[in-house]
Amino acid sequence: MKAQLAQEVDTTLLEIDASERELNPGFKELEAWVNVYLGPGTAELHDLQGTKHPAIRDENRNAIIPDRCTEIDGHTYFLSIKGCGAYEDMFFGGPLSIDRITDACREPALLDRVRSLHNPAGFIMSENWMGESPFGAQGVINAREGLELSKLARDASINGAYICPIIGIVPLAGQIEDTARKFYWFRQYPDPFFQEMRLVPSRTRLYFESPHVIADPESVFSQFHVGTPKLAQQFEMNFIRSGLALLSLFSRSATERDGGIAGLVYQDVWFDKDTIIAPDGTIHFADIEGLGWMQLTGQSHQELLGKYYKLQRKEWDKLAYEFLYALVQVDTFRHIVENNADNWAKQREGLSFLIQMAIEKDPYLYVRVIDGTLVAFVETLAIDGIDPVQIPIIQGVTF
């Protein structure tokens, strides 16, 4: 995977020692990676010097450094910088240009410096992006919330649900932030600017925001060297196991709190672009700030349990379609690799068997066939006295 990413290098990040940083204690061995990383536009504007890293653009404001990688629980993870400068024009589309940056400049004294830039890509400015972050960087609330949630993970997993953990965040206080505040089109982001360093297993997503997507499984299988029936089945089983774990995140994270039940839920985030796929098929949730704690309370234990069952079902249903759509693409292409063009009826039955095999050792999840329906039983292990939540996966199963 490292060699594959190295072939896709298309930008450079400048690393500068951070004077302040907030660290994830679970990744102390990677503390030296938590610094400031700037794209070429912002680095050149400030005439900064530092260590240069070949990098890969990822989405609009992120970049991956292929040479900085580490092994965790059998997966290789690469350093990804969230908030190292924008590459795309916010309002007009296409690459961010010098003309568009000058349009956003509210300080005439800076115009000559902007016009002399050789490469405007990776530029940080203060235009308020959805109230959450400055354009090209990361907002303080998202950065700190993502870091705190990442601390819940053991390595890169919250009880079997894989994430792309944040190893540290750094403020962009001082000259960089002060200058960025002079650039905006309509309104400024009012709070401190941050960057976050996270670990990602690739840049392959489900549907978009990457040149490699599961929606094009032939390309992904080729990229990850999944060329035999055995590897294709292993990939799909990992895809199923990790996908169902993410769908059951609320129950996996559930705990007793203040007389009620608290667990993690997905807030305005989806599987389409907010998950990243490892070369072995394991789905990782990437936008950690999109997770949040939901506290359930009730006048009685029965009412509390009713709310718990309802919320876990809602969380599953909210993201199930995007997972199942991608699973069908993976499963269909596996049949092609096997030179086995099953019809849809047989494919559904085959998927039912594969799902059962994939989650055999998952302590939070098992399946049963009940009246012709493959049903998932979602458990929570941190709270006694709660029956599993039952959720149908495939109906009309004939075996």
Q: What is the pLDDT of residue 183?
A: 98
Kindly list the domain boundaries of the chain, sorted by start residue: 2-200, 217-395
Average pLDDT score over the chain: 94
**In terms of DSSP bridges, do strands 133-134 and 128-129 run parallel, antiparallel, or are they unpaired?**
antiparallel
Q: Tell me the C-alpha distance between 316 and 314, whole Å.
A: 5
> 398 pLDDT exceeds 90?
no
Tens-digit pLDDT profile for residues 355-397: 999 999 999 999 999 999 999 999 999 998 899 999 999 998 8
Looking at the predicted structure, is the pLDDT value of residue 209 above 70? Answer: no
In sequence order, the 6+-apart residues with CB closer than 8 A to the CB of 302 are none
The structure's pTM equals 0.95
Q: Are 384 and 367 in contact (CB under 8 A)?
A: no
Asked whether the beta carbons of 253 and 263 are under 8 A apart, the reply is: yes
Q: Is the pLDDT of residue 345 over 80?
A: no
For residues 14-43, average pLDDT: 97
- The mean per-residue pLDDT over the stretch 197-208 comes to 92
pLDDT of residue 202: 96
Long-range contacts from 362-368, C-beta under 8 angstroms, 24+ separation: 362/160, 362/241, 362/244, 362/245, 363/160, 364/159, 364/160, 364/245, 364/248, 364/251, 364/252, 365/244, 365/245, 365/248, 367/393
Could you report the per-residue pLDDT of 250-295, keeping only the tens digit for each?
A: 999 999 999 999 999 999 888 888 999 999 999 999 999 999 999 9
pLDDT band at 213 (very low <50, low <70, confident <90, very high): confident
The pLDDT of residue 342 is 66
